[in-house]
Amino acid sequence: MITILLTVFAFTLFFIGIATRLVSYIKMLVFQGLLLFGITFIELKDVNWINLVLILLETIVFKTVAIPYFLSYLIKKNKIIREAEPFVSNFWSLLIITGLFLLSFILSGVLDFDKQSKIFVIVSFSTILTGLYIIISRKKVITHVMGYLVLENGVFILSLAVGSHQPMLVNLGVLLDVFVSVLVLGIFINQIGNTFEEMTADNLSNLKD
């Protein structure tokens, strides 16, 4: 079952790579949050009520509800054009993401993991690299934030690979980091929105002290 969920998660990366509208990114982040809940719930060896609350808090409350809602609020408030505006065509994005999966597969072979953990490593590395690719290949600052969230989901999956018995301590630290980062970036985006009409990364070079 975990293999199926991880495979579906991997396919969401290809969809994100060719998505042209910001709402599609947000929907995929919501879907990834739901998949992460299922993966973590199944992977945990001993699920007590404390672990269940932590899983719900991180994957459902924050990843699936709070952060996507916050991003939607930023888009509406700043009247951001809903096109993602990538630098790279969909065809090349698919090829690049496929290449990132192949690279992740090679890296997983170098590292010493058992068969069960290896699929976690492949998907996590692919997710991290895809998040970096989204950040690099998109014009809008808001899509950079979404790329960072995809990257953080990869870190989440990697934590399950290296600490499947008790991943919550690692995940809580990551959760605090991403929550604060999104909050700070949200304030940052609001300030740019008050200065520029177009929320593109090119405008960052025009900011002065």
Query: Tokens at residue 108, please?
Result: 């997983």
Percent of the chain with pLDDT over 70: 67
Count up the domains in the chain and report the number.
Answer: 1
Query: Does the structure show a pLDDT above 50 at 196?
Result: no
Quick: pLDDT tens for 180-191: 666 666 666 665
Type of residue at 18: I
Q: How far apart are CA 93 and CA 107, in angstroms?
A: 21
Domain with 40, as residue range(s), is 2-206
Quick: pLDDT tens for 5-57: 999 999 999 998 888 888 888 999 999 989 988 888 777 666 566 666 777 77
Q: How far apart are CA 173 and CA 111, in angstroms?
A: 24
Type of residue at 10: A
Helix (H, G, I), strand (E, B) or coil at 194: coil
pTM score, whole prediction = 0.80
